[in-house]
Structure 1
């Protein structure tokens, strides 16, 4: 078994804000959604084997606890890029011994972990 993708949500019309985080800050490639799904809005992104789908919810509330964790080769690079673009970077290197990680939030307030 392997994880195929993770979905987080955004409010209607929030695709450009999602692109600013996932495409522009994290460097993920935007994928073409199948036509029937594209009609629902949202957007999909991939980098390596990590795929994140952004779905539109009319009564959107950001996920503040549930979150995807993205494993990256250069954690410090991503921390610098995100901080330079105004996204919060909250380091937590003590909760899980031996694991460097930080949390941030996408442009809609969804919690994202990088390890």
Structure 2
């Protein structure tokens, strides 16, 4: 049987149980993401879902929460300078990183200590492209 990957459908990170208000504020008010309604069959899970462009982000609410310092989501965005201005407006700390050729990016640990990366490609090196991205250039 042959199969192929189409891409990510969704990803999940966690937040402390009882942090729904803070989670909603971070993703909807600060980052401007739309909260999504979960299917009725999954409504019993303690989680919030957000539209983050091409994918859905699930934020699972956990009693035994711990932040991920190394493993992290990396969000590709447009107008990274605008997002940086937005984070400054909300006093959300972030740190720019200049180690990825062709991209402007930064990290923040503001969401309950999770490392979260945001990047905007100016020129994406072919070595960083998937086969699907390479094929779309032809």
How many Å separate the matches in 2 of 1:71 and 1:83?
Answer: 19
Pick the aligned partner of 1:13 from 18, 23, 29. 18
2:108–2:116 contact (8 Å) kept in structure 1: yes
CA deviation after TM superposition for structure 1 residue 87, in Å: 1.4
CA contact (8 A) 1:105 1:112 kept: yes
Question: Which deviates the most, 4-13 or 101-110?
Answer: 101-110
| Cα distance in 1 between the residues matched to 2:9 and 2:45 | 20
Unaligned runs of 5+ in 2: 1-5, 120-138
Aligned length: 114
Q: Which runs of 5+ in 1 are unaligned?
A: none
Q: When the two structures are superposed, what TM-score results if normalisation uses the length of structure 2?
A: 0.76
Structure 2 distance, partners of 1:108, 1:37, is 24
Distance in structure 2 (CA, Å) of the matches to 1:108 and 1:34: 26
CA distance 1:110–1:26, shift in 2 (3 Å): same
Assess if the C-alpha contact under 8 Å between 1:63 and 1:110 holds in 2: yes
Q: Give the TM-score, by structure 1 length.
A: 0.90
C-alpha separation between the residues in 2 aligned to 1:46 and 1:106? 19
Q: Among residues 19, 27, 40, which one is paired with 2:32 in the alignment?
A: 27
Deviation at 1:5, TM superposition (A): 1.1
Bigger Cα Rg: 2
